[in-house]
Amino acid sequence: MIVVDSSALVLFLTDRGSRGAAARRRIGEEDLLGAPCLLDTEITSALLGLARGSKIDPASLDEHFKTYQGLRVQRHETGPLLPRIRKLYADLSAYDAAYVALAEALDVPLLTADVRIERGVQKPRCHIEVITANSEGRCSRRAPA
């Protein structure tokens, strides 16, 4: 299992370049994904925003949502994570902190496409894998402190 944030899943669903391929490859290695329960709202907002801004074809929305709903995602309540989210909030948004806190609590890596998460966490307690646009289509990894 890995915890996956909305930025990684949006790449998985919509990007046809090397970053999307890296996301699909990494997510495809897992039988089960973990995420805070806010993931559904973030994915919905991102996909609708991309369609509204003509970044993706609005006609593709149904297919993107169908693919997303077919993923095995174990959703976790954020209540138990609030003390750690509050500590991480000095460097991250509460939303991003929820993903980091969950990965730490589950002792699994966090997959993200947002390099600000990797840079923002001073002493992560989990591996943070960032989907980059490198030539190999792989994810960079940062070990816990």
Look at the chain and report how many structural domains it folds into.
1
Mean pLDDT, the chain, as a whole number? 93
- Once rounded to an integer, what is the mean pLDDT over residues 4-18? 97
Q: Residue written as tokens 């089960």?
A: 32
Q: What is the dihedral of CA 119, 123, 126, 127, to 10 degrees?
A: 40
- The tens digit of pLDDT for each residue in 47-59 reads 999 999 999 999 9
- The tens digit of pLDDT for each residue in 100-133 reads 999 999 999 999 999 999 899 888 899 999 998 7
Query: Hey, is 36 helix, strand or coil?
Result: strand
Which residues span the domain enclosing 106?
Answer: 2-142
Residue 136 has pLDDT above 90, yes or no: no
Reading the block at residue 35, the tokens are: 């995420």
> At 48, which CATH number?
3.40.50.1010
Reading the block at residue 14, the tokens are: 């919509």
pTM for the model stands at 0.91
